[in-house]
Structures are given as C-alpha cells and as structure tokens.
Amino acid sequence: MAFSLCSTKTLLLFFLISAIPVAFIISSELAKPPTHVASARSPSPKITDRHRKRLFLKEVTVVKDPALAGNSSLGIVVDRPRNRLLVAISDLLGNKYNALAAYDLSTWDRLFLTKLGGPDNEKAFADDVAVDAEGNAYVTDAKSNKIWKVGADGKFVSFIRNPLFIAKEWYKNLIGLNGIVYHPDGFLIVIHTFSGMLYKIDVTKEDHEVKLIKVAGGSLAFGDGLELLSPTKLVVAGNPSGRLVESLDGWETASVVAKFKGPAHRLATAATVKDGRVYLNHLLGMGYPKKQHALVEAVFYFLRGEGNLNCWF
C-alpha cells in the first residue's frame, strides 16, 4: 500500500510530465471527471489520514517528525492488531538514509524508528511496506532490489534477496521492487516497477521462498502501489492508473482482467480499498489552479466477458 508522496518515480516521470503541454493539464483539470474525485488541498506533503481525506475535502497532518526532516514518507501500512501505522522513509535524492517508522494510531507517538542499512553503503531506496500477521514489516528497496524484514518490536531481522528480483536489462532496475502487500494466506505479493514482474514470497518458510507469478492478459510494467481487493483480486496502481489482476490458484498464476484509466496527466501511485471500493491516489500534476491531491475512484472496465461490463466496487 504505497502512499508515495515523493519517490524516484517522481524524478523520472517529471521528464515525461513536463513534456505534456500546460494547456492540456489545465483543461483536464477543469474538465468534469468521469468518476467521483475527492480532492484535498495539501498544506505540506506529510503523512495524513487517507480515509478522512476521502470523506471530507480536508487534509489533516497527524505526524510531524522533526527528526526526519529532509526525508520523504513513502509507503504506509496500517497494522490494525497493533494499532499502529508503519511508514517507509527515504531521502529522495541522496539514497543515503532509509528507515521504517511506527506511530501509534491513537496518540500518534512514534513507537520506533529503525534505520535500514545495507552492506558496503549500498544505495537504497525504501519504497513501500507491508505487515504480516505477526507484525513483521517488509520494506521494499527500489534501488538495490532487496526487502528489509523488521520484527514487530522494530528490530531489523534480515534481508530478503533473490536473483529473480533483478531484471536482465540494467535500465529496468532503475526502479525495481516497489509495491508490496501481505496476503492473508501467509505470503507477500511484490511488484518490480520497470519490468512488471510480480512475485509471491512465502514468509511462513524460513528461507522466504520467492516465486515469479505468471501473469497473462497484459503487462504490469510501471505498476507501483499494490492493494488487495479480495484474496483473489489485486489492484495495481501506476500507469495506466489502475489494473485489476486476478488469481484463482493462490497466486501461482494471475491475469490482468480490467484496467482503469484515470486523469491522463496525473500519475497514480497508490491504491486503497475501503468498503469494497477502490481509490487511486494520484501524485503528479498537483492540480490547477489549486495545489491538490486527487483520489479517484477506480471503475474497472473488464477486458473479457460479455461486452463492456462496467464494474463498480
């Protein structure tokens, strides 16, 4: 569940975005959106309560952590059983500081801040985080294609590395492991952004067995945030804004069954599921004339089946 406010993708995609004529941005912004759009004016890019943002057109800053000034908050995940919010933190430009922070959901006190390192000062970029049933957190490193495992107490446990995490073409590793979700059956689903590879990682096994999920029906390249809609359905935010992926065999194989194309000039970086509805968080094209974040409800157009079935979740 990435809530990317700033990330490597931003930098790379700025090149693409800046090529889009401003006039187009303005007209898209003023045009009536095809689906429900909830906007929230943003005073500053900090961690906020996304659900509140959806319901009211107001954004509330709940955490201001001066110790982390200069860094960006990336993926977040709510760890309900432990009443806390886990946040992946990284310094966007330097790739020198990476951490996992946990905040109490009632008091917003910081519970722990764990610095995430690597061997030989390897460049790293903490991008997204998922939490398993025991409270272990898994943070993806989009730069060096590894996963940090951090225990429920905030202590670093181990790295998960695998040759499958590395794309063959060097440039496809510029943005690697990114969105990550924990499946209630005891495994992680992780996406490699530039290659579109999707992995299943069994965390019940000591060696964290990694498998490539065979995906049919389309590519998942430029997939960013992931969110499970149900145990068999996964939303992939990115470009295109939303893709719906389904697996009927416990995520050994999967297929792209629907796509959602949101505002063209904005970049969807995260998906959230609330009450069975999918919301995509858009990062770029911060709004015109006012600086806004946009959460767009995703309506998936099914690619197969009887004609053009519009499915509202």
The contact set with ligand NAG (CB under 6 A) reads 67-68, 70-71, 91, 94, 97
DSSP symbol at 61:
B
Q: Which is nearer to ligand NAG, 70 or 186 (CB)?
A: 70
Q: Which is nearer to ligand NAG, 97 or 108 (CB)?
A: 97
Q: Which is nearer to ligand NAG, 45 or 135 (CB)?
A: 45
Q: Taking the complex as a whole, how short is the minimal distance between the CB of residue 47 and ligand NAG, in angstroms?
A: 15
**Bond before 66 cis per omega within 30 degrees:** no
**Among 218, 216, 264, which residue's Cα sits nearest to residue 240?**
264
**For residues 157 and 150, what is the distance between their CA atoms, to the nearest angstrom?**
5
Q: Which is nearer to ligand NAG, 154 or 287 (CB)?
A: 154
Strands 187-192 and 198-202: antiparallel
Q: Taking the complex as a whole, how short is the minimal distance between the CB of residue 203 and ligand NAG, in angstroms?
A: 28
Q: Round to the nearest angstrom and report the end-to-end CA distance of the chain.
A: 18
Burial class (CB in 10 A: 0-12, 13-18, 19+), 270: buried
Q: Taking the complex as a whole, how short is the minimal distance between the CB of residue 202 and ligand NAG, in angstroms?
A: 33
Q: Which is nearer to ligand NAG, 66 or 184 (CB)?
A: 66
**For residues 302 and 313, what is the distance between their CA atoms, to the nearest angstrom?**
12
**For residues 41 and 53, what is the distance between their CA atoms, to the nearest angstrom?**
9
Q: Which is nearer to ligand NAG, 97 or 313 (CB)?
A: 97
Q: Taking the complex as a whole, how short is the minimal distance between the CB of residue 123 and ligand NAG, in angstroms?
A: 14
**Among 137, 15, 135, 142, which residue's Cα sits nearest to residue 72?**
142
Q: Taking the complex as a whole, how short is the minimal distance between the CB of residue 71 and ligand NAG, in angstroms?
A: 4
Q: Taking the complex as a whole, how short is the minimal distance between the CB of residue 82 and ligand NAG, in angstroms?
A: 23
Q: Which is nearer to ligand NAG, 55 or 93 (CB)?
A: 93
Distance of CA 104 to the CA centre of its chain: 21
> What residue number has its CB nearest to ligand NAG?
70
Structure tokens at 72: 């960006």
In the chain, the amino acid numbered 146 is K
Q: Which is nearer to ligand NAG, 110 or 172 (CB)?
A: 110
**Among 292, 285, 286, 290, which residue's Cα sits nearest to residue 17?**
285
Q: Taking the complex as a whole, how short is the minimal distance between the CB of residue 67 and ligand NAG, in angstroms?
A: 5
Contact status, residue 190 vs residue 140, Cβ threshold 8 Å: yes
Q: Taking the complex as a whole, how short is the minimal distance between the CB of residue 66 and ligand NAG, in angstroms?
A: 9
Contact status, residue 4 vs residue 270, Cβ threshold 8 Å: yes
